[in-house]
Amino acid sequence: MHYVAMIRGQEYAVEIREGEPEVYSLLIDGKPLEVDARVISETTLSLLTNNESYNIESEQAPDGSENLLVRGELVKVEVLDLRTSRLRKAQETSGRVDGPVVISSPMPGKVVAVLVEEGQEVEEGQGVVVVEAMKMENELQSPRAGVVTGLMAQEGVAVEGGAILCTIE
């Protein structure tokens, strides 16, 4: 399974493969790591790697990330699947542009809902279009406040990755 881990503002590519039960082979930014992981309780994990033992306490943060206590140090970790990571990057990139912002489909899929109308005012973070890809629905949000123009998205229509769905001015 492929993931992206965000730790202290740094992004790490993570691939996880389970070998034997509770034994995992990881590739973190291309570097291999063998980990023996045991669940101690709902919030405690015991790891053994490179002949070192770690007890990790975790709690869910309000923003969806995890706060981990590792050897007395608090570390905030957010783990995203590849699709969510790509979607977030597409939304962040489109939000950095002055002037009109184009909202595009981050991957091939089907428009399952159009949440706005042409000429409608939207707030930053407001849902605009929902695209279903790989049996999961992805709500595309407005990267900034503005007015919807050039609404191309139509409910029930298949779209290619990169297809323009609407513009926010």
Asked whether the CA dihedral 138, 144, 146, 152 is positive or negative, the reply is: negative
Q: What is the pLDDT of residues 112-144, one digit of tens each?
A: 999 999 999 999 889 999 998 777 788 898 888
| Predicted confidence (pLDDT) at residue 74 exceeds the cutoff of 50 | yes
Domain check: are 74 and 110 in the same one? no
User: Which residues constitute the domain of residue 148?
Assistant: 95-168
Q: How many domains does the chain have?
A: 2
Q: What is the pLDDT of residues 85-102, one digit of tens each?
A: 777 776 665 545 567 889
pLDDT of residue 95: 47
Q: In 3D, which of 98, 153, 102, 147 has the Cα closest to residue 131?
A: 153
Residue that is last in its domain, among 81, 109, 124: 81
- Residue 11 in domain: yes
